[in-house]
Amino acid sequence: MVARIILFFALIYTSAITYFSLIVMDFKVSVVGFDPTDKMLHAGAYLFLAFLWKLYLLFKNSNFQKYTSNLYWVAFASFAFGMLIEVLQGTLTSYRTPDWWDIVANTTGVALAVLFFIAMAPTIKKLRQKIA
């Protein structure tokens, strides 16, 4: 039941990232063409994206043996999703442009989520053993 709730939120969140990545944004703050606030938002958004999907797999799969492989699949899928969004911004819209710095920021957020789950793996494993 918990896995289904997390899946619902993960799908809604993924849809929201897609939507907000492809609409016209009327505001922009930049320093010599680099927008640090925008990049922090990208990193945070993709950190939470990877976090939600890994959390879903954590609750869905009771087998801890797949913990690491699922984590890497989530990381890869989140990275690929970010790349796809950048390509879509360049091909589907005339008002958005792909940005390599966005990809770097997205990847940073995903990497932080991976590091979090790697650091928390022993604690999560202990909690799962107590529950089972």
In a domain, 86, yes or no: yes
Q: Which of these, 25, 85, 91, 2, lies nearest to 49 by C-alpha position?
A: 85
In a domain, 27, yes or no: no
In a domain, 60, yes or no: yes
In a domain, 99, yes or no: yes
In a domain, 30, yes or no: no
Check pLDDT > 80 for residue 93: yes
Question: Percentages helix, strand, coil for the chain, rounded to the nearest 5?
Answer: 80, 0, 20
In a domain, 28, yes or no: no
Q: Which residues contact 89 (CB under 8 A, 6 or more apart)?
A: 21, 22, 96, 97, 98
Can you read off the two tokens belonging to residue 10? Answer: 């993960």
Q: What percent of the chain has pLDDT over 70?
A: 92
Q: What is the mean pLDDT of the chain?
A: 91
What domain range includes position 61? 2-21+36-131
Residue whose token pair is 């360049």: 90
Q: Which of these, 43, 118, 106, 49, lies nearest to 79 by C-alpha position?
A: 106
Mean pLDDT over residues 119-123, rounded? 95
In a domain, 29, yes or no: no
In a domain, 8, yes or no: yes
| Structural domain total, the chain | 1
Mean pLDDT over residues 57-70, rounded? 89
